[in-house]
Structure 1
Amino acid sequence: MKKFAVILAGCGVFDGSEIHEATLTLLAIQKKGSEYQCFAPNIDQHHVINHITGEEMQQTRNVLIESARIARGNIKDISELNVDDYDGIIFPGGFGVAKNLSDFAFKGAEIAVLPSVSETILAFWKAKKPIGALCISPAIIAKVIPNATLTIGSDAGTKDAIEKMGAKHKQTTHGEVVTDAENKIVTTPCYMLDANIAQIEEGANNLVDQIHQL
């Protein structure tokens, strides 16, 4: 039985992990007969967004605690993640990836990735274990892994930023995945496109299928 680490970035598309992408990734893993363990950094979110109005709220929330909502409490600090215990790692999307796990939302190609996250990505890459990334998450992969081939769909601005980081981008549509066999990276666009939840399920399933093949 394969076991995967899933890295969350909070709870909610505008300030954390995208809930559909995260949940459907977990479902896809179990449908393949595999297991998962969720992880998140124990840090404060960049900010908190009211998901009805889109306005910033005067609150402070913790990424690990908020991510525990998606994981139903079964979550660990990313500092506890040991690459030897897992067959691969997957990053669902959501603005939390670009605000909490990195500062891509603010700095684009000049991105800095949270050290605990970049170290984890590098550990799986050096161990030649598959790395999956949905939606905006390929941006942090592009920063950490040199000369990666990946996709965020078709958004021109994000594509340009990724290519400035040295990655090769391939345009994709709903459900499609891009596999960088040399680096064992699998990516899919999900909500970087104007998608519905059924299309997110297709992308998550296809990504998890491809990771198992690697």
Structure 2
Amino acid sequence: MKNIAVILSGCGVYDGSEIQEAVITLLAIAQQGATYRCFAPNIAQHHVINHLTGEVSEEESRNVLVEAARIGRGDVEDLIELNEKEFDAIIFVGGFGAAKNLSSFALDNDNYSVNEQVLTAAKAFAKVEKPAGFMCIAPALLPLIYPAGVKGTIGKDNATAKLISAKGLTHIDCDVTDVVVDEAHKIVTTPAYMLAESISEAAVGINKLVKYVLAFSK
């Protein structure tokens, strides 16, 4: 049975993992006959957003690993413990946490960087040519993990795509219900909530992403 490492970045679309994307991903993996384990870096969130008002909660701080445990029903592991030898593939869930906690994309635009723990984990999978899936804004990580020219999508947001392309991504516009596949690097990307207007729309692309990632896992 194939085993997938799922990388989370907190809990909540505005400051962590997009919860619906995360749950759809875990469900798709299970329904398609594989298993998963969830991981997140044990670091402080960039900030905390009140998801009711959209405002920054100035006096509050939260931990990415602790928050991610809400999604994993307590079953989430520290990213530094991730061993690529135990898995067939890796999938990065979207949400602003991918652009605020896993990387600085939301803060530094085209001058962004990726968290060292995240970079180490992702490159370990890339080095041994294991498949990877990235959804929503998570494909922003791609050009800092893989060689220049790597293919991926964040949907059809030209301004955002241009910033990521400046780092080396070959961006391909993509509908919410579809995926972009980089055969050479065994990478699958889908827009998810970069374009989705409903959970059902997001689910179509995410289910395809999981299907392709599992197919790449020999």
TM-score exceeds 0.5: yes
**CA displacement, residues 117-154 of structure 1 (integer Å, 9 cap, x when unaligned):** 01111110111100100100000112221121000000
Partner of 1:160: 162
The answer for the alignment partner of 1:62 in structure 2 is 63
Which residue does the alignment assign to 2:204? 202
Which residue of structure 2 aligns with residue 18 of structure 1? 18
CA contact (8 A) 1:40 1:76 kept: yes
SS at 1:179 equivalent:
strand
Shift of 1:194: 4.2
**Residue in 2 that maps onto 1:136:** 137
- Deviation sequence 1:92-137 (CA, Å, 0-9, x none): 1000000001100011221110001011111101111001001000
- CA-based RMSD of the aligned residues comes to 0.7
Tell me the equivalent position of 1:110. Answer: 111
> Normalising by structure 2, what TM-score?
0.97
Q: Contact 1:111 / 1:143 at 8 angstroms: preserved in 2?
A: no
5 Å-filtered alignment, 1:67-86, equals 67-86=68-87
Is residue 2:194 matched to residue 1:186? no
Runs of 4+ in 1 over 2 A off after TM superposition: none
Matched positions, count: 214
State the AA in 2 paired with 1:22.
A
User: Percent identity, aligned pairs only?
Assistant: 50
Instruction: Tell whether the 8 Å contact from 2:196 to 2:202 is kept in structure 1 after alignment.
Output: no
Q: Distance in 2 between matches of 1:142 and 1:36?
A: 25
Please, which runs of 5 or more residues in structure 1 have no aligned partner? none
| Structure 2, unpaired ranges of 5+ | none
Contact 1:174 1:195 (8 Å CA) reproduced: no
Paired residue secondary structure (1:20): helix
In structure 1, C-alpha distance between the alignment counterparts of 2:49 and 2:184, rounded to whole Å: 38
Counterpart code for 1:211: V
Seen in structure 2, the aligned counterparts of structure 1 residues 29 and 194 have a Cα distance that, compared at 3 Å, is closer
Q: Whole-Å Cα distance in 2 between the matches of residues 175 and 5 of structure 1?
A: 23
TM-score of the two chains, using structure 1 as the length reference = 0.98
Amino acid aligned to 1:10:
G
Q: Return the alpha-carbon distance in structure 2 between the equivalents of residues 143 and 195 of structure 1.
A: 29
What residue in structure 2 maps to residue 37 of structure 1? 37
